[in-house]
């Protein structure tokens, strides 16, 4: 990212190189903060309301009030996107509990939140590669029990992701007590006998915005959709496996733990839903 590009920090727009926070920021010391990643196509924010609602739910879960109104966020994020009307961007938003006077585990009674936002290009080449199908491995979900919060404490997620990368795979599908929860940075779906299955929302997974849209579009397309637990056994015998996220959209998994998933290529149901997803995106571009 160019250091000349403007970012937003605590009410100001300034070049990245000039954006500074205190070393006493609780986000830095304790990962005491939450974030969002919002895609924007041709300058238009995708599912903004849903992302802002989730931001406020994450804040509430860590005992913080909303730091701004939705309208204020919308103005800020749109201003950041002004120079990028021709490209697809991913907008990063982070809110922490701000800097204390010293390092203290206890939550401060009063605080000035740190509010940060920036954007960076979504790499469409990598989306095209992803559409050919990715490889994944399964790993034990070693993370904490509050994975529904979009917390900046991502050490568990990044170490799991790295284990997948070390094995030349794109993602890790996480298993807790014999059931798939989600990917290290994505939600999981399987297709079995044309039925689309994804784990129900719980404290063990992030309520993904892409997950919800994929369910919505699949139901509209007349696909049988079920939210229920997916056992490890079922995962390995699935006809199709998909992983979804805002920046990677719907990734067809064609290989799991070095074994082919289904026919070892992106499946028919994926083709159908991915095409509806693209159409949905294109409509937004034209608005």
- The site for ligand PDD (CB under 6 A) is made up of 37, 157, 182, 185-187, 206, 208-211, 244-247
Among residues 114 and 187, whose Cβ is nearest to ligand PDD? Answer: 187
Question: With respect to ligand PDD, which residue has the nearer C-beta, 21 or 153?
Answer: 153
3-class DSSP string for 187-225: EEEEEECCEEEECCCCCCCCCCHHHHHHHHHHHHCCCCE
- Report the alpha-carbon distance of residue 82 to residue 79 in Å, rounded: 5
Least separation in angstroms between CB 102 and ligand PDD: 30
Q: How far is the CB of 202 from ligand PDD (least distance, A)?
A: 12
- Smaller CB separation from ligand PDD, 99 or 117: 117
> Nearest 5 degrees, angle CA 33-CA 137-CA 260?
140
Q: Is 137 helix (H, G, I), strand (E, B) or coil?
A: strand
Rounded to 5 degrees, φ, ψ at 168 are 60, 35
Can you tell me the distance from the alpha carbon of 245 to that of 183, in angstroms, rounded to the nearest whole number? Answer: 9
Does residue 230 contact residue 202 with C-beta atoms inside 8 Å? no
Angle made by CA atoms 36, 10, 122, in degrees to the nearest 5: 35
Whole-number minimum distance, CB 106 to ligand PDD, in Å?
28
* Shortest reach from residue 23's CB to ligand PDD, in Å: 24
Distance set, CA 283 to CA 10, 128, 213, 277, 287 (Å): 33, 20, 14, 10, 7
Contact 230, 157 (CB under 8 A): no
Residue whose C-alpha is closest to residue 53's, from 157, 150, 196: 150
Between 92 and 111, CB nearer to ligand PDD: 92
Which is catalytic among the residues 150, 161, 248, 263? 150
> How far apart are CB 58 and ligand PDD at their closest, in Å?
11
Nearer to ligand PDD, 58 or 114 (CB): 58
Q: Is 75 a catalytic residue?
A: no
Contact 225, 196 (CB under 8 A): yes
Catalytic residue annotation? 150
């Amino acid at each position: 990212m160019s250091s000349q590009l403007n970012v937003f920090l605590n009410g100001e727009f300034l070049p990245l190189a000039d954006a500074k926070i205190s070393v006493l920021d609780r986000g830095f010391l304790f990962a005491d903060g939450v974030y969002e990643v919002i895609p924007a196509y041709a300058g238009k924010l995708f599912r903004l309301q849903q992302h802002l609602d989730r931001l406020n739910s994450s804040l509430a879960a860590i005992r913080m009030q909303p730091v701004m109104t939705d309208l204020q966020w919308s103005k800020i994020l749109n201003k950041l996107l002004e120079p990028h009307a021709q490209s697809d961007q991913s907008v990063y938003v982070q809110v922490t509990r701000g800097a204390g006077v010293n390092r203290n585990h206890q939550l401060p009674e009063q605080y000035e939140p740190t509010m940060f936002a920036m954007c960076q290009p979504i790499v469409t080449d990598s989306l095209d590669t992803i559409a050919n199908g990715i490889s994944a491995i399964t790993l034990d979900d070693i993370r904490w029990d509050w994975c529904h919060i979009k917390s900046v404490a991502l050490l568990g997620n990044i170490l799991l992701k790295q284990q997948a990368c070390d094995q030349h795979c794109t993602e890790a599908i996480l298993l807790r007590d014999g059931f798939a929860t989600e990917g290290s940075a994505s939600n999981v779906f399987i297709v079995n006998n044309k039925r689309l299955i994804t784990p129900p929302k719980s404290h063990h997974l992030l309520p993904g915005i892409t997950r919800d849209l994929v369910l919505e579009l699949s139901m509209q397309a007349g696909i049988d959709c079920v939210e229920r637990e997916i056992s490890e056994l079922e995962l390995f015998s699935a006809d199709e496996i998909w992983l979804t996220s805002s920046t990677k959209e719907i990734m067809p998994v064609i290989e799991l733990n070095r074994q082919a998933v289904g026919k070892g290529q992106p499946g028919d149901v994926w083709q159908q839903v991915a095409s509806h997803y693209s159409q949905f995106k294109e409509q937004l571009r034209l608005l």
